[in-house]
Structure 1
Amino acid sequence: MQNDKVALVVGANGVIGSRLIDELEQQGWQVIGLSRRGGVDRARVRYLAVDLLDAQATDNALRSLTRVSHIFYAAYQDASDWAGLVAPNVAMLTHVVEALEPFAPGLEHISLMQGYKVYGAHLGPFKTPARESDAGHMPPEFNLAQQRYLERRQQGKSWHWSAIRPSVVGGFSLGNPMNLALTIAVYASISKALGIPLRFPGKPGAYHSLLEMTDAGLLARATLWAATEPAAANQAFNINNGDLFRWSEMWPKIAAYFDMEIAPPLPLVLDSVMADKSELWQCLVQQHDLAETDYGAVASWRFADFVFSWDYDMFADGSKARRFGFHAFIETEAMLFALFDEFRRRKIIP
């Protein structure tokens, strides 16, 4: 199947962007992937390497992309604190839109990838289930700052926007600062190599709190749906797998997958205690002929610490998307095991 739509995927090498490109390619779109590292072109996908913090470089790279009909924005710039996230992330989105929009007369839609930070989930216990209609919270918060920019920019224009709000995303990507599934798999592999049981390393309360995840494939389908469904124009949608779980129930199943014993949870700061495991990882790479030798590319310890610190419920109401017509779902346990299988198939973990 082919169509005349041209997608610009910003953040093309991340967990979200890479899976979205796969989905667009399967649906017959022409795709341009934008990232710092670029990528390997294929028949319907070509990549551009651009530093989006550089306004002039972004302008030079994008102003010739006159046939782009849809922008899918999933780029992210990390910072040392929450307030510091606002300026670079708003700037990158602004640079993309202002470089492309004036020269793409057929632009139909801009899709913005957000998350539960919109609801203050990163600050502490918040109202659950979170709904798209919930009141905002005290800024700074870059997700909402980006959305407000799009809302202002869209006034009087023929294109529309959508805001997609997943939970923790499960997918395949290396060198990504927010890849929880791969980090769990690496943590389990190292624990097994050390001959110790698989202990949950988070806060005690986090072991029993309710949470959810979002499969990257399901997220890609939902993002494409919202970008092409007229009723979804200028709307925000929570997108999640559709089930809830507790680590106290999921952790023993993860241990069983890796053929490991479990022991009672023990709070750890993974960013610290896993910092000296690079040499051990290199031994595993050689022993199992693994494909990725860079220890820093396979684990996101800082992000895992963040997720495992949630000693409060972390979930949102996904019914709005269903009411508007998107009905896909996936079981989180099945998603995790499928990802672990994929990591092994690609020889990323033993």
Structure 2
Amino acid sequence: MEKEKSPDALLVALIVGVTGMVGFSLAEALKKPTTPGRPWKVYGVARRPLPSWFPSSLIDCFISLDALDHADTTNKLSPVAQEITHVFWISRQLRGSEEVNISMNSAMLANVLNALKSSAPSRLRHITLLRGTKQYMGPIFDPSLAGKLVHQEPPFREDLGRLPYPNFYHALEDLVASYLPSVTHSVHRSSIIIGASSRSLNNALLTLSVYATICRHLGLPFRYPGNKYTWEHFCDMSDARVLAEQQIWASVTDGAKNQAFNCTNGDVFAWKSLWKVLCEVFDVEFVAFEGDEKFNWVEMMKDKGKVWDEIVQKSGLFETKMEDIACFEALNVVLHFGFQHVSSMNKSREFGFLGHADTLKSVRMWVGKLREMKIIP
């Protein structure tokens, strides 16, 4: 029988962005009896109150705060600041301009870290940053840079240098590095994340679920809205559970400190294969890609908010607005790539993390989870 940890030895996590896809999976993972560093005490932070689908048993305390507000952040975190040993930074604010993203996200992280470090003595020892493949592509959602970006050659590797474009990822990485050597860090670069939440920005699976559900409800064909290249070529994804496992592993493994790791499921898929899976789980007819460049699903879905309201009401779902849970514009960019969106997992494996998932099975599982949470019918 394991000895109970003394209060000074107990690992205490602060998940900033706990109600997002990865935050939810992190809270679940940290409470598992087999998790490295167990038992963990877990504080969860989000701007809004916990939604009804989030089990309160996954966290020891929930803190609602606006990380952009320095005073609010300091006031809310001061009572627990001396306990926190690990920060899991999942939160992000996204706008069209990358310069604005840099300003907002840097301010948020600085406010949280200042609140934790200003309460002496601080026990903070490690910060994990959730990032993504924008590291290798540049700010693809900034309209001012449309057509000007040159991406790295896939498969993306962690040793590729920074691209010469503004990127809030770089600003946050430089900020956490400034706390060395007293506080270590790890950077985790995901691909397209699949998980379950009604509060994640750029939630591709939930966007596709809304699209499929509305098509079925209206009797419309569930057409692939991307280009022929992505329909036929390889892409990868990141299961939120694998991301959570890698972040926890890096936070307690000495050899993984102060490193950046890609984190994908370790396999690849073509969108035509994934489309068949989506057709099965949503019970819609499979329509082969027809190469119709005139089909614009972003425009098609603009007036479907009231249809989603009807579906939510009829099915007794957790109340959401379509514009708050679907990211048609962002996913449309991804579905029109002209290169294979694939990251190498070699470094992660070489350092000792062997987590993986079968992407097509993950999609089925997470759709089931979204249904169980009453976010989709």
TM-score range normalised by the length of the shorter chain: over 0.9
Pick which of 119-128 and 109-118 moved more.
119-128
- The answer to whether the aligner puts 1:220 opposite 2:226 as a matched pair is no
Shift of 1:344: 2.3
Which residue does the alignment assign to 1:277? 304
> Out of 4, 8, 16, which is 2:14 matched to?
8
Rounded to whole Å, the distance in 1 between the matches of 2:253 and 2:82 is 23
Give aligned pairs, total: 348
Kept in 1, the 8 Å contact 2:116–2:124? The answer is no
Q: Residue by residue, what CA displacement relative to the aligned partner does 1:255-275 show, whole Å, maximum 9, x if unpaired?
A: 133222233354554443212
Which residue does the alignment assign to 1:300? 327
Which residue identity is paired with 2:368? D
Rounded to whole Å, the distance in 2 between the matches of 1:151 and 1:162 is 10
SS in 2 for 1:34: strand
Shift of 1:66: 0.6
Quickly say closer, same or farther: Cα 1:133–1:50, change in 2 above 3 A. same
Rounded to whole Å, the distance in 2 between the matches of 1:75 and 1:42 is 21
Q: Residue by residue, what CA displacement relative to the aligned partner does 1:51-95 show, whole Å, maximum 9, x if unpaired?
A: 111122212222332110001111101112233211111111111
Rounded to whole Å, the distance in 1 between the matches of 2:177 and 2:296 is 39
Which residue does the alignment assign to 1:203? 227
> Out of 44, 59, 73, which is 1:33 matched to?
44
Which residue does the alignment assign to 1:112? 129
Which residue does the alignment assign to 1:145? 171
Quickly say closer, same or farther: Cα 1:347–1:61, change in 2 above 3 A. closer
Shift of 1:158: 2.3
Cα RMSD after superposing both structures: 2.0
SS in 1 for 2:42: strand
Rounded to whole Å, the distance in 2 between the matches of 1:113 and 1:296 is 24
SS in 2 for 1:88: helix
Kept in 2, the 8 Å contact 1:281–1:295? The answer is yes
Kept in 1, the 8 Å contact 2:66–2:72? The answer is yes
Kept in 2, the 8 Å contact 1:175–1:296? The answer is no
- The answer to whether the aligner puts 1:131 opposite 2:142 as a matched pair is no
Shift of 1:241: 0.1
Shift of 1:10: 0.8
* Structure 2, unaligned runs of 5 or more: 141-148
Which residue does the alignment assign to 2:266? 242
Which residue does the alignment assign to 2:144? none
Kept in 1, the 8 Å contact 2:189–2:261? The answer is yes
Which residue does the alignment assign to 1:259? 283
Kept in 2, the 8 Å contact 1:114–1:166? The answer is yes
Shift of 1:183: 1.1
TM-score, normalised by the number of residues in structure 1? 0.93
Shift of 1:345: 2.5
> Out of 94, 98, 106, which is 1:82 matched to?
98
Which residue does the alignment assign to 1:340? 367
